[in-house]
Chain A
Amino acid sequence: MYQYDDYDRALVFERVAQFRDQVERFMAGELSEEEFLPLRLQNGLYMQKHVYMLRVAIPYGTLSAEQMRTLASIARDYDRGYGHFTTRQNMQFNWIELHEVPDILERLAQVNMHAIQTSGNCVRNITTEAFAGVAADELIDPRPLAEILRQWSTINPEFLFLPRKFKIAICSAKQDRAAIMMHDIGLYLYPGRDGQMLLRVIVGGGLGRTPILGLQIRDGLPWQHLLSYVEAVLRVYNRHGRRDNKYKARIKILVKALGIEAFAKEVEEEWQHLKDGPAQLTEDEFQRVASAFVPPSYRTLAGTDLDFGTHLADNPAFARWVARNVQPHKVPGYTSVVLSTKPGLASPPGDVTDAQMQAVADWSERFGFGEIRIAHEQNIVLPDVPKSELYALWQLAKEHGLGAANVGLLTDIIACPGGDFCALANAKSIPIAQAIQARFDNLDYLHDLGDISLNISGCMNACGHHHIGNIGILGVDKNGSEWYQITLGGAQGKNSALGKVIGPSFSAAEVPQVIERIIGTFVRYREAEELFVDTVARIGLEPFKERVYPKALEASV
């Protein structure tokens, strides 16, 4: 993991002092609500329905056991005993008092954490995939460049008041698990013929009310040019992005208006002034940062473990969990474990209690090297677990409500906090997620259905990434009541696709039955072990529509 040095520490502590002063001035009436707004947003503080929400940055989803324990202590001391992991790998605390925020930030700073730029019209938390550094299909570890980007974008004075928020993701695995096509800038890192690190630069992707997949503006960019190239993109965007309408202010709208060729030309012209200048990354800097990400001291383990094999054979529930929640690792004998935060009715997707955080921190030390990842699917990953320890970990995870064997299944629902918390939401998300989870509570059936992603957003800002769910559910407001529009065929990863709307929206009560009918249609048309998303692609939307809309739906019981 990256370790803070004196510069990094000075920055986060000075930032806490600065914000403490701003909060005091706001509370004393010296700063107006309007003046305070962007200051608090750039320190992660939103006003929600009831109180403030604080979004803490978890850079590229990586945190230490100590940092996780600090999050637990904040949940316990300043919130209601839980936190919520977001689709951008951050943690949100939903019940925060403004006057306590500086103390919370100070507690975070003590463990090298912050909430800087987790909101506001600036460059947000840099994200990558949860299995960076350990995934069997990884080409190059993307974390050093992610950390370099994090530093470069943090309080970069020219780019703090962009037309709109700006999200950058970087990925370097065969499967794109960082959704780089859905970001303002998506970076794909890969080795060139001579082994040099190269970048493919994608711009203008995004969800929200105008979902668009990003377009490539450059390929084969040597890594040394990462910062100067991103600077060029940001300067073009800062100068020319629309500011008259917040719904048309993302870079994707500018790219669309200019056309990708004209946009690329602007960027290229700007970059000609910057390339080979002081922003060019040095080998020294790369090595300095990369040295923090050297692999831990893995033991030499046998590829197979006898006890593990016995447990697999004897215990079908364990075998099922291993099949769904355990990922291959690049080191023999090791695995990466996904702890599902989607147990169903027991708690909403992404919500984790202080006791669970504490337990996860302990497990990360007992079974791994004290490192924890947050996946953009809102689950927790322990990246380095020996096969021989899986059984023990599984039993503990079950005991703590983190043992659901449903990763990638229909009930591994991605959901935003929705109308229960969020002031922007048109509709609630959590009760919909839980009603679907309750309807599909037969694990054998779920496993037979195979991979199906179901994503729920409470409004078209799309924090729940509904467009890229195989099944997407979007909360919409119709004359003051909550309705849900359903899309099919969305996908993330290498074959990213945006889902298509199947027809008129449904009431909350109808949704579980609609999902049941969609699944029923899939089962009827599915060939062999075909994936849901492939069936949708093969047969189109019609068979689903016929089944869902033939007659008025009976109200669900």
Chain B
Amino acid sequence: MNNLLRMEASGARIVRDDPWTLIRSPETEPSAGMLILPLAHWLESPSTHAVWLGPDDGVESLLPWLSSLPLIALDFPSFRDGRAYSQAYLLRSRFGWKGELRAIGDVLRDQLSHMRQCGFDSFAVREDKSAEDALKGLAGMSVLYGRSVIEPRPLFRRR
């Protein structure tokens, strides 16, 4: 995928050589290489390909496959649809997903810090937006009152 940001040990960077191809509808798109397939399609024949979930998809259905999946992507059909934040929380905090968790769809600079807090570690910024510009959105604020995936203790336990 193009226009991709990824959190790495040294910090966030723009990824220019991402090997994954996002397949929105397998019936109409060519399917060679490393693919990120829709959940329903992927479940028909679980493979070494990656999977993406829409906000209506239950993250629970991935439970048997978490040890072998290479990457999970969660879709934001609109940046105003906040369900993927809770899906990310569940995958990370409850189901222990340690692999790459990618935000796809309407992924914009001003929501990146929230996504990062909820456990996303790669961000396929919407194609018409600048990835360089979006990098500025990752930091967010220095204060988090509550808790999140990357900071599971509320501020009152960190004071």
Chain A, range 261-288, C-beta contacts under 8 Å to B = 273, 278-279, 281-282, 284-285, 288
A157-B85, A239-B86 known; A7-B143 Cβ under 8 A: yes
Whether A155 contacts B80 by the Cβ 8 Å rule is: no
Q: How far is the CA of A18 from the CA of B138 in the complex (A)?
A: 12
B46 within 8 A of A: no
Task: State which of A146-154, A213-221, A462-470, A529-537 sits at the interface with chain B.
Answer: A146-154
Whether A238 contacts B86 by the Cβ 8 Å rule is: yes
Whether B141 contacts A18 by the Cβ 8 Å rule is: yes
**Which residue of chain A has the shortest Cβ distance to B89 in the bound complex?**
A158
Number of B positions contacting A (CB below 8 A)? 34
How many residue pairs link A and B with beta carbons under 8 A? The number is 99
Q: How far is the CA of A14 from the CA of B115 in the complex (A)?
A: 18
Task: State which of B3-11, B26-34, B66-74, B147-155 sits at the interface with chain A.
Answer: B147-155
B125 within 8 A of A: no
Chain B nearest Cβ from A150, distance in angstroms: 9
Chain A nearest Cβ from B62, distance in angstroms: 15
B111 contacts which chain A residues (CB < 8 A)?
A: 161
**Which residue of chain A has the shortest Cβ distance to B113 in the bound complex?**
A157
A7-B155, A278-B154 known; A158-B85 Cβ under 8 A: yes
Whether B114 contacts A160 by the Cβ 8 Å rule is: yes
Chain B nearest Cβ from A291, distance in angstroms: 14
Chain A interface, >50% SS class: helix
Chain B, range 99-157, C-beta contacts under 8 Å to A = 108, 110-111, 113-115, 117-118, 133, 141-148, 152-157
Q: How far is the CA of A38 from the CA of B79 in the complex (A)?
A: 10
Q: How far is the CA of A155 from the CA of B159 in the complex (A)?
A: 18
A288 contacts which chain B residues (CB < 8 A)?
A: 156, 159
B117 contacts which chain A residues (CB < 8 A)?
A: 157-158
A11 within 8 A of B: yes
Q: How far is the CA of A30 from the CA of B79 in the complex (A)?
A: 16
A38-B80, A159-B82 known; A14-B143 Cβ under 8 A: yes
Select which of A22, A35, A273, A281 is within 8 A of B156 by beta carbon.
Answer: A281
Whether B79 contacts A238 by the Cβ 8 Å rule is: no
A243 within 8 A of B: yes
A279 contacts which chain B residues (CB < 8 A)?
A: 146-147, 154
Q: How far is the CA of A156 from the CA of B111 in the complex (A)?
A: 12
Chain A nearest Cβ from B8, distance in angstroms: 21
B143 contacts which chain A residues (CB < 8 A)?
A: 7-8, 10-11, 14
Whether A162 contacts B82 by the Cβ 8 Å rule is: yes
Whether A158 contacts B145 by the Cβ 8 Å rule is: no
A154 contacts which chain B residues (CB < 8 A)?
A: 145-146
Whether B85 contacts A161 by the Cβ 8 Å rule is: yes
B18 within 8 A of A: no
B159 contacts which chain A residues (CB < 8 A)?
A: 7, 288
**Which residue of chain B has the shortest Cβ distance to A162 in the bound complex?**
B82
Enumerate the 9 nearest inter-chain pairs by beta-carbon distance, A residue then B residue, closest first. Answer: A161-B82, A157-B117, A285-B156, A157-B114, A11-B143, A151-B145, A158-B85, A156-B146, A152-B146
Known: A158-B89, A158-B114. 20 other contacts (CB 8 A): A7-B143, A30-B133, A38-B80, A151-B145, A151-B155, A154-B145, A155-B141, A155-B144, A155-B145, A157-B85, A157-B115, A158-B82, A159-B85, A161-B79, A162-B82, A238-B85, A239-B87, A278-B147, A278-B153, A282-B156
| B contact residues vs A (CB 8 Å cutoff) | 79-83, 85-87, 89, 94, 108, 110-111, 113-115, 117-118, 133, 141-148, 152-157, 159
Supply 17 A–B pairs (Cβ within 8 Å), ascending by A: A7-B143, A7-B145, A10-B142, A10-B143, A121-B80, A156-B145, A157-B113, A157-B114, A157-B118, A157-B144, A157-B148, A158-B85, A160-B114, A161-B81, A239-B87, A282-B156, A285-B156
| A contact residues vs B (CB 8 Å cutoff) | 7-8, 10-11, 14-15, 18, 22, 30-31, 35, 38-39, 121, 151-162, 227, 235, 238-239, 243, 273, 278-279, 281-282, 284-285, 288
